[in-house]
């Protein structure tokens, strides 16, 4: 079961699960999207307005598991009808952040609530998932699910539409020059562009070593891949203070214009760069 099925996470979940061979049912408040969800692979679509959960701690089992984007009463109701040893991935709160349920699904049926924290996901797991999503897990209808590109200065109307429940699929943010990722990549390419003027190693063809600093494991991975594919050696640091320690040992080539502000540290980014 996928709840909040017509949204970005819901549609991708249906596409992924169907592609993996699962029978997928979809719950959404937008009955006009039933045909679209069936096109993605949902075998049954249910309007959330037609749901009437029983109020007993445990009800008759219906589904083996669930990806829940709604939370609140929806999540509480779903927990009562998940079969033995089923998992519920909790990744949204469109229906509220509260959860009024009992422990009975957990202690009598072995149901598990699986939390999601993408920000804190270890880099090795990210790499594994990104590789699979780009290959055997790639959603077959991804180009259809991403409805439009939105520039940063056009985000407010999209947010309003989301709050009014008018958005289906996913809106991809169109990166501008001030966007964080593009800024970082531009800095890296700027550093690499001056590499021809940097001292070479004894072999005469050794590429300069570049220090990459960011507090996001995802950004570190992306930037490291870009730089290494260009033939450079890399060293990485997750904070400004760690960067100073690494720089004193590794002696990377540092572009004085390419420093980045490290957040949540005792020293501002500029002072770290000077150090």
User: What would the pLDDT profile of 157-180 be if each residue is shown by its tens digit?
Assistant: 877 777 776 666 655 444 333 333
Mean residue pLDDT across the chain: 78
SS3 of 274, please?
helix
270: confidence class by pLDDT, cuts 50, 70, 90: very low
Domain 2-170 and domain 180-274 have a common topology: yes
The pLDDT of residue 1: 96
Kindly state the helix (H) or strand (E) to which residue 49 belongs, with its residue range.
Answer: none
Q: Which residue from 80, 75, 89 is spatially nearest to 108, judged by alpha carbons?
A: 80
pLDDT at 237 over 70: yes
CB 81 within 8 A of CB 57: no
DSSP 139: -
Torsion of CA 5, 136, 21, 116, to 10 degrees: -40
Is pTM, for the whole model, over 0.75?
no
If one compares 3 and 212, the residue with the highest pLDDT of the two is: 3
DSSP 220: H
Dig out the tokens for 265 from the structure: 């540290």
pLDDT at 58 over 50: yes
Q: Which fold, 180-274?
A: Rossmann fold (3.40.50)
Residues ≥6 apart with Cβ < 8 Å to 78: 1, 3, 63, 66, 68, 88
Torsion of CA 239, 244, 248, 249, to 10 degrees: -10
Q: Which fold, 2-170?
A: Rossmann fold (3.40.50)
CB 101 within 8 A of CB 80: yes
CB 111 within 8 A of CB 136: no
Most confidently modeled range among 90-94, 116-120, 148-152: 90-94
The pLDDT of residue 206: 59
CA distance 260 to 269: 6
The full set of domain ranges for the chain reads 2-170, 180-274
pLDDT at 258 over 80: no
DSSP 201: -
Distance of CA 268 to the CA centre of its chain: 28
């Amino acid at each position: 079961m996928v709840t909040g099925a017509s949204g970005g996470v819901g549609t991708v979940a249906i596409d992924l699960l169907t592609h993996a061979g699962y029978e997928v049912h979809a719950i959404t408040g937008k009955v006009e999207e039933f045909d679209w969800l069936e096109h993605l692979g949902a075998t049954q679509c249910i309007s959330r307005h037609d749901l009437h959960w029983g109020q007993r701690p445990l009800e008759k089992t219906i589904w083996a598991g669930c990806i829940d984007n709604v939370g609140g009463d929806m999540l509480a109701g779903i927990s009562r009808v998940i079969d033995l040893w089923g998992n519920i991935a909790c990744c949204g709160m469109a229906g509220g952040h509260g959860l009024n349920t009992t422990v009975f699904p957990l202690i009598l049926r072995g149901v598990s609530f699986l939390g999601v924290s993408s920000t804190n996901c270890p880099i090795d797991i990210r790499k594994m998932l990104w590789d699979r999503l780009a290959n055997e897990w790639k959603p077959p209808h991804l180009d259809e699910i991403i409805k439009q590109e939105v520039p940063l200065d056009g985000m407010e109307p999209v947010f309003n539409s989301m709050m009014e429940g008018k958005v289906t699929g996913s809106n991809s943010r169109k990166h501008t020059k001030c966007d964080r990722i593009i800024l970082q990549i531009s800095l890296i390419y700027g550093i690499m562009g001056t590499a021809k003027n940097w001292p070479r190693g004894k072999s005469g063809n050794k590429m300069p070593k570049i220090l990459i600093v960011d507090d996001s494991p995802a950004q570190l991975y992306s930037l490291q891949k870009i730089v290494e594919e260009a033939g450079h050696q890399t060293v990485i640091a997750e904070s400004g203070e760690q960067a100073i320690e690494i720089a004193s040992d590794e002696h990377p080539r540092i572009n004085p214009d390419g420093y980045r502000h490290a957040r949540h540290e005792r020293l501002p980014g500029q002072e770290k760069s000077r150090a």
